[in-house]
Amino acid sequence: MFKNVLIEAAHAGAAEILRFFNKEFSVSNKEGVNNLVTEADHASEKAIFDVIHKHFPDHQVLGEESGESTHNSEYKWVVDPIDGTINFAHGVPLNCVSIALEKDGEVFLAAVYNPHLKEFFFAEKGKGATLNDKPIHVSDQGETVKSFLVTGFPYTYINSAHGPLEDFEKFVRKGVPVRRLGSAAIDLCWVACGRFDGFFEHKLEPWDSAAGYLIVEEAGGRVTDHKGDKFSIYQHKILATNGKIHDEMVEVLNNRKEL
């Protein structure tokens, strides 16, 4: 039942993404000059919430645009109606719906759907991860210096000491290819299916990481904070890898090793 509702909700949100994509829509700013929210974000979130509330009216929901509901439930839906809003607003088809379901604070079901590429990533705790219903697995790369990495940059405090630019520099100055796609949920899913070997970022919110985090782990990868400690979607820093380069990346990010 949970899986069916999750899939229905993801498709409902994605339909709104496609309805507005490359059309005229209203745009406003949140914190940071380029931290946008669009009419489509609100429409997608409403469509997702409508599906969830139809089946589970007492469940708690946490959405990027509307915040957290006050329901007292052991279940919480964590929703990003459009992850990659900047991409979406500029007609770049690297954006997606991201939805995760928690029970008692633990994510056990997740979906990330990019309707432009028709890529539907799904994971259920303990049962593996899939892309369009086919099992996926992380890469086998064992050396960070030979890896293909992806990262993102926050809209605020980008020039802070020991911040995202410094971490980016640690890898690119050694010739490691590092991409920035503009959607953390897609970044995580592309680690899960082996396209990237690792992903690191400094300032994610729960809706950015909740679904992709489970998908990476269920695809055989490892997800922690930058210190290598247990990851929580309610803290900002994330490191997600194929597992084989994880410890080395932790050492590099914490200035204990150079590549």
The mean predicted confidence, pLDDT, of the chain is 92
Classify domain 144-253 by CATH number: 3.40.190.80
The burial class, CB within 10 Å (0-12 / 13-18 / 19+), for 207 is buried
pLDDT for residue 39: 86
Tell me, what DSSP letter sits at residue 231? Answer: P
Q: What is the pLDDT of residue 64?
A: 74
Give the global pTM: 0.94
Residue 30 has pLDDT above 70, yes or no: no
**Burial label, 141 (beta-carbon count in 10 A; 0-12, 13-18, 19+):** middle
Assess whether pLDDT exceeds 90 at residue 204.
yes
pLDDT digits (tens, 9 = 90+) for 95-121: 999 999 999 999 999 999 999 999 999
Q: What gap in Å lies between CA 239 and CA 235, rounded to an integer? A: 12
Res 154: pLDDT: 82
pLDDT in tens, 163-173: 888 999 999 99
Among the ranges given (26-30, 67-71, 85-89, 193-197), the one the predictor scored with the smallest mean pLDDT:
26-30
pLDDT of residue 32 exceeding 60, the answer is no
Q: Is 131 helix (H, G, I), strand (E, B) or coil?
A: strand
> Considering only the top CATH level, what class is 2-135?
alpha beta
Domain boundaries, the chain: 2-135, 144-253
- The percentage of residues in the chain with a pLDDT greater than 70, rounded to a whole number, is 91
The answer to whether 177 and 128 have CB atoms below 8 angstroms apart is no
Give the up-direction half-sphere exposure of residue 76: CA atoms within 13 A in the CB hemisphere: 20
Cβ neighbour number for residue 243 with a 10 Å cutoff: 19
Q: Which residues contact 150 (CB under 8 A, 6 or more apart)?
A: 178, 179, 180, 181, 187, 190, 191, 196, 198, 199
* pLDDT at site 249: 98
Q: Cβ(18)–Cβ(115) under 8 Å?
A: yes
* Structure tokens that stand for 186 in this block: 């897609």
Confidence check: pLDDT of 28 > 70: no
Look at residue 66 in the predicted model and tell me its pLDDT.
67
Share of the chain above pLDDT 90, in %: 81
Q: Where are the alpha helices (DSSP H) in the chain?
A: 2-20, 39-55, 85-89, 164-172, 184-192, 206-218, 246-253
Please report how the helices 206-218 and 184-192 are oriented relative to each other, as an axis angle in degrees rounded to 10: 0
Q: What is the predicted pLDDT for the residue at 35? A: 57
Q: How confident is the model at residue 78 (pLDDT cuts 50, 70, 90)?
A: very high
pLDDT surpassing 90 at residue 214: yes
The per-residue pLDDT for range 148-200, each reduced to its tens digit, is 999 998 876 666 667 888 999 999 999 999 999 999 999 999 999 999 999 99
